[in-house]
Chains A and B, each alone.
Chain A
């Protein structure tokens, strides 16, 4: 009796939890995702029917054919007809499932004639986006986790979109076919937006593609889904779907920002300007390995505080940041602008116990680019 009560209470608790939490596929925002959800539901219905069928027999047997109720064992152990039936029927069911599934597989692979092509580059541990073809061509930015460390380490309450918020969202227009090319700078990552039914591994040195046509405006959130090292859990993917008119407006804003940034590339800055900008660049790109303290992680990621590179000649420091260090997590940061690189290098050379005193200017960085 007590056991039954316990099981009952547990069942109720689980049902309560199911209602409170997310327990099914996220709402679809593309035709592909709708098709996938439909397939999933159809297969689940089939699975439940098979489940009830097979285990109906098993539990009936457990109930009625017990020795304790005096059931005598029969000794049959073969029946060719039955065995043929339960081989052929499942095979036929599989053929029936195969047809609708195959249609979706073929549709998923059809990346032809997109309205907009975007390249997504996985990097430890952020996503780079380049608008390659279509409206907005030439826009390029890096999208990094925006959740503060203090929330992750429990020093601040966690926000609504904890771990699912970025500094630059990917913006795409409603109702247009978007083709995403994926690749990676270091190790394998995987780009996924559940609401679009689009997931594709990002493989260093290779380019793969997927597509989706968003059919609802809104912000869709997800994460990298292939283990890519220490901060695999901290590189979200956020896509904002806007109306085509809003998209045109957004493209205009981005172009203005880019023009301003390229003007920044050529001028000189004071040490303090570079340091304060460098701190932000450091927080977005370097802090995951080298840590806010500049002390790194002993044995895994080297310290910058007091390091030979940060206290040695500026040219060597620029080279390492520009070209990376082979076979380590230290990648090339050449994709950042000269001004950003100058700022972060100046910051590293003038923080903690490092006191170079001199600023590295954007022109110095440009001179070291190969």
Chain B
């Protein structure tokens, strides 16, 4: 307790610190401007969307268990793949990390709350409406759009009203993200405690600062792309219609100018979480803090000039292909630096493997595998063979699931004691990790083989030679989906009846939320701010 005696956060615990001011019950959550409440809502929303998207994934894998059409028709299959992608990217992964940002950034920089507290409330409460639009689209005539999460023109023009609902949902999600990132950037730049210089911030804050800028830069681009789709559909424009002087490939350029930075919008906060967890369980400071910051910035800048590597088969001029190939392989350098730094942090540490560390190691191992297949795909001739096959599906699930999702799990188990004041059941956490790890690889590793052998992605039925891989992959997917019930149980059990957590349950954790605040954290913290000079 000695570390927390002198903090005002602790003093507040006796005053109004433990109580949300104003309303109780449901109105507390609707009207709240508290960063911790909003962070909690983001995280639960994200879990709900993760479950919805997961059920869709299992339906997809059920259809693909055997060749032939059994469970869903091809139209509905396309709707499922589209919505699985959109919901997982915009509904599950992105809100999860905004939830972490809300909870942690004020505590890690010694600020009392986020800079724009009311806007913070608004940026969360847009999300349920956006998600409802996406889900309602299944029930309108023609169903949800079956165009893939990339929404390529001109297929979008053939869709029913579900496409319009999806376009509006993307607008809303974009508004939410932009407001969220303006808030995060402003908070980090203006509200750090005295003495908390930028280069003293925990790496999680750094990765979010950079992610915030990426979001502000590219979400309007996506909004532009879907708005042009909307006017092409209804108002007679021809942005993406060659017959009217437009170009379908223009859509792909605009989409991927958003889409590639989006990959890092998802990955960078995950890097941030892992950069907090690995040093804590290695009992050793993060290796190469400054080079981590520079590498993160380099990745963010490079992410703006590599977008067309998603489009090697559209028929670019040879100079275009070479430029985007060289730029893409260049990203391997700063990404490599990060991986080496994490391994060097573990090197000669004093390691223990509680659940957060297990997930962080799982992240490091599998994300790097995804990085390697990324290197393979960055090379134009090989990509031309593998583009739009299951190899790509495997690659981006190694990056998105084993990357972002594993990091999110690591973060949840890591900070859950701080947030709730209670410990999760270590045994349950470990079971969750191993089940997820094993089933993830059963699901996705074999997809590399299916892709190499030539199985296209987004098909509801497939030739017989791909049957073995698809059977294995489907079994893995059901296993991985069911394993997440263990996670839900572990979290609920922790909140309801977990053992009381000490102020600093992790020996090696060293950021402000561990060293300067009690467990559980009071409702209001760091008001006034701590002096760290």
Q: How far is A171 from B464 in the complex, measured between Cα atoms in Å?
A: 24
Residues in chain A near residue B467, CB distance under 8 A: 21
Residues in chain B near residue A75, CB distance under 8 A: 284-285
Residues in chain A near residue B157, CB distance under 8 A: 327
Asked if B385 and A73 sit within 8 Å, CB to CB, the answer is: no
> What is the distance, in angstroms, from A36's C-beta to the closest C-beta of chain B?
5
B3 at the interface (CB under 8 A from A): no
Segment at the interface with B among A89-97, A130-138, A239-247, A266-274? A89-97
Q: How far is A161 from B464 in the complex, measured between Cα atoms in Å?
A: 8
Contact with B along A191-216 (1 / 0, CB 8 A): 01010010111011110110000000
> What is the distance, in angstroms, from B3's C-beta to the closest C-beta of chain A?
20
Asked if B283 and A73 sit within 8 Å, CB to CB, the answer is: yes
Asked if B314 and A208 sit within 8 Å, CB to CB, the answer is: yes
B520 at the interface (CB under 8 A from A): no
Asked if A152 and B68 sit within 8 Å, CB to CB, the answer is: yes
Q: Which of B70, B143, B146, B340 has the most CB of A within 10 A?
A: B340
The residue from B350, B381, B463 contacting A73, defined by CB atoms under 8 A apart:
B350
Residues in chain B near residue A14, CB distance under 8 A: 446, 472
B residues 326-352 touching A (CB-CB < 8 Å):
326, 329-330, 332-333, 336-337, 339-340, 343-352
Residues in chain B near residue A23, CB distance under 8 A: 449, 452-453, 469
Contact with A along B85-125 (1 / 0, CB 8 A): 00000000000000000000000000000000000000000
Chain B interface bracket (under 10, 10 to 19, 20 to 34, 35 or more): 35 or more
Asked if B472 and A61 sit within 8 Å, CB to CB, the answer is: no
Residues in chain A near residue B369, CB distance under 8 A: 51
Asked if B75 and A230 sit within 8 Å, CB to CB, the answer is: yes
B505 at the interface (CB under 8 A from A): no
Smallest CB gap from A164: residue in B: B463
Contact with A along B121-157 (1 / 0, CB 8 A): 0000000000000000000011100111000101101
Asked if B351 and A158 sit within 8 Å, CB to CB, the answer is: no
Known contacts: A78-B287, A190-B313. The answer to whether A101 contacts B381 by CB under 8 A is yes
The residue from B375, B387, B466, B468 contacting A47, defined by CB atoms under 8 A apart:
B375
Chain A interface bracket (under 10, 10 to 19, 20 to 34, 35 or more): 35 or more
A39 at the interface (CB under 8 A from B): yes
A20 at the interface (CB under 8 A from B): yes
The residue from A94, A109, A205 contacting B242, defined by CB atoms under 8 A apart:
A205
A259 at the interface (CB under 8 A from B): no
Segment at the interface with B among A64-72, A248-256, A341-349? A64-72
A363 at the interface (CB under 8 A from B): no
Asked if B466 and A22 sit within 8 Å, CB to CB, the answer is: yes
Smallest CB gap from A159: residue in B: B464
Asked if A40 and B382 sit within 8 Å, CB to CB, the answer is: yes
Segment at the interface with A among B35-43, B201-209, B243-251? B243-251
The residue from A54, A90, A227 contacting B343, defined by CB atoms under 8 A apart:
A54
Asked if A190 and B388 sit within 8 Å, CB to CB, the answer is: yes
B23 at the interface (CB under 8 A from A): no
The residue from B155, B325, B457 contacting A105, defined by CB atoms under 8 A apart:
B325
Known contacts: A23-B449, A208-B314, A208-B315. The answer to whether A40 contacts B146 by CB under 8 A is no
B502 at the interface (CB under 8 A from A): no
Asked if B349 and A61 sit within 8 Å, CB to CB, the answer is: yes
Residues in chain A near residue B384, CB distance under 8 A: 36, 108, 197, 199
Chain A to chain B contacts (Cβ below 8 Å), 17 pairs? A17-B472, A21-B449, A22-B449, A44-B376, A51-B369, A61-B351, A73-B508, A82-B344, A105-B318, A153-B69, A190-B388, A201-B313, A203-B314, A221-B463, A227-B152, A232-B74, A233-B459
If A67-B350, A194-B454, A233-B456 are given as contacts, then 10 extra A-B residue pairs at C-beta distance below 8 Å, sorted by A number, are A14-B472, A26-B453, A40-B385, A77-B287, A154-B70, A186-B154, A197-B381, A203-B248, A225-B387, A233-B459
